[in-house]
Amino acid sequence: MKCFTNLPRRMTLVAGFSVPAVLCGLLVLPATVAAQNQVDEVTFKLVPNPKFLDCLRQSPWEEPRATVTVTRGNLNDTLLLDVDGIKPGLAFDLFTVQRSSLLADGSADPNFKNFGLAWYQTDVQIGKYSDDGHVRIKTILLDQIFGFDPDVALAPTNTFHVGFWFNNPQDAAACGFDPTKPTPFNGEHQAGPLAMISLPDATTGLGPLCTNPNLSTSPASCNP
């Protein structure tokens, strides 16, 4: 029997046996429920921050669009971002964050306080045309993306939302943003406001990078 050693990063112990042993014929068991519920690819939309919509779009008759596709991999995942209808020449900074500022219907969350834990992932540059903005990153994303910091007693915290921020605060000034009060969402920590972000699931409240929610907890958590 062939022994498999190049295994997905999420395969762990099964009934006390290591998965390599299972696959080498020592034991054959069905996959766990959590593994069965995971999906290998997700596609979702990012929604414009309503306050800064007019500073995003190329024309008044076209809405900005951003589509994210994430594909699960053995060692890490691949994220593809495609945008359209955005003003040429703008630059953005893409993060994964703990919380979205929008509700499941795309409206502003009246109870929103902050984005929580945030990870800087990549820059996004719109070229000469409104659809000339595509990025590809490879990292841990689906179901397991998290950070922690024992120095400030921050327990492992997931960042299941995807969003990008105006890199230049001046690009959002015409929509009411104060450039003298930048946000920390770029490498220089002198960014503009949120431009577009993912929506929480209406049932679980989790971001779209969680594909396998655990509804037995309150609030809902994610099965890694």
Give yes or no: residues 22 and 41 share one domain. no
Per-residue confidence (pLDDT) for residue 198, from 0 to 100: 98
Q: For 105-147, how does the pLDDT look when each residue is reduced to its tens digit (9 = 90+)?
A: 999 999 999 999 999 999 999 987 655 678 999 999 999 999 9
Give yes or no: residues 61 and 22 share one domain. no
pLDDT at 33 over 70: no
Give yes or no: residues 171 and 94 share one domain. yes
CATH number for the domain that contains residue 99: 2.60.40
Confidence of residue 9 (pLDDT cuts 50, 70, 90): low
pLDDT at 178 over 80: yes
- pTM for the full model? 0.84
Give yes or no: residues 64 and 130 share one domain. yes
Domain extent, residue 186, equals: 37-222
Q: For 40-60, how does the pLDDT look when each residue is reduced to its tens digit (9 = 90+)?
A: 999 999 999 999 999 999 988
Question: How far apart, in whole angstroms, are the C-alpha atoms of residue 183 and residue 193?
Answer: 6
Residue 47: which residues within 8 A CB-CB, separation 6 or more? 102, 106, 196, 197, 198, 199
Tokens of 3: 């022994």
User: Could you give the count of Cα atoms lying within 13 Å of 84 in the half-sphere of its Cβ?
Assistant: 7
Give yes or no: residues 117 and 69 share one domain. yes
Per-residue confidence (pLDDT) for residue 1, from 0 to 100: 44
